Amino acid sequence: MDILIVVLDDFPIILKSHSQFQRLSEVGMVKTFDTRPSTIEEVIQRASGCHTLILLRHHVFFNEQIFDPLSAHLRHLAIWGTGLDHVDIDSASRFGITVSHTPGTSTQSVAEHCMMLIFAAMRDLHRLDTNLRAGKWSSAELMQLSGKILGVIGTGRIGRKVVSLAKALGMDVIAYDTQPDEDISFKLGFEYADLELVLEQADVLSLHVPSNEQTKNMISNRELSLMKRGAILINAARGSLVDESALVDALKSGHLRAAGLDVYAQEPITEDNPLLKLDNVILTPHVADKTPESVDAGMELLVNNVIEFIQKGQPIISATIDN
């Protein structure tokens, strides 16, 4: 009997139209769904009987409620992406389900997107573009990157790449991490500091930590109040890191000059989200990792993980709680 591989949520379609898709059919029978599952019951129904479940989006939290009814057949949950905040790795392990992911494949892409958001926020791009299109030849008080202080929260792959790009542009960098790496800080030329000091000193604050209970709303009213008046917040990591209500207040009051966001508390962003009405925030729809180079690398590793697990019983990169 062919091994059943289910692609749970290819919406918008990306895997089925990619050159790597054909390789899956060489190791099993592939069933794809190009709509988003709306309920846990629908997830279970789609994945019923499958050996490998490919997860492309983050619409549902995978825990015992899903793993239990699928555990008779499900052996591998293959994730496209780095983040694991939508999967209970402990629960998967208890049911004998291996979880794999694709870390490192979008590092350059996401870091460049963060720099784009920084440039756009510092140069007031949204307002200047909007005014010009409306026939207004307006001016603005712009900011220069060189000589400014970038505060980086989290110095994993993407955080370190952002540091490198910022340093190349003449920014000074300070960083906070729960596990500081002094060798990396020496190599890249930045200093670690405690969180409050980073918040107080940063002209631009960029977030690069995973979403979990410890980091939920880690930037809220208190943290925003510690930031310099006129500072900028950048978040292309996870929407749950920032208390959006507090951010809106800080932007409306002028305490923050601007923000650049690629991620949100609820995705897709809802039409009534007050962020959409502010002209001092740059918004992009969670696309920081969607360059051709990043997508190609991620799809290749995703499919390699599936093939390696089916043929050898172990993916190239297994996800662990520490990831």
**What's 319's DSSP letter?**
-
Report the phi/psi class of residue 80: left, alpha or beta, with left for phi > 0 and alpha for psi in -120 to 50. Answer: beta
Geometric angle at alpha carbon 22, from 21 and 23, rounded to 5°:
90
Q: Where are the alpha helices (DSSP H) in 3-146?
A: 21-24, 40-47, 64-70, 89-94, 107-122, 125-133
Omega of the bond leading into 268 within 30 degrees of 0 (cis): yes
Contact between 272 and 246 (Cβ < 8 Å): no
Question: Is 267 a residue of the active site?
Answer: yes
- What single letter denotes the amino acid at residue 158? I
Counting every residue written for the chain, the total comes to 323
Torsions phi, psi for 122 (to 5 deg): -70, -30
**Considering 42, 64, 200, 267, which one is annotated as catalytic?**
267
**Considering 75, 76, 257, 286, which one is annotated as catalytic?**
286
**Considering 101, 126, 208, 238, which one is annotated as catalytic?**
238
The residue behind tokens 């969670």 is: 286
Question: Is 286 a residue of the active site?
Answer: yes
Contact between 188 and 215 (Cβ < 8 Å): no
- What single letter denotes the amino acid at residue 162? V
Q: Where are the alpha helices (DSSP H) in the chain?
A: 21-24, 40-47, 64-70, 89-94, 107-122, 125-133, 157-168, 182-188, 195-201, 221-226, 244-253, 292-312
Q: Which residue numbers are catalytic?
A: 238, 267, 286
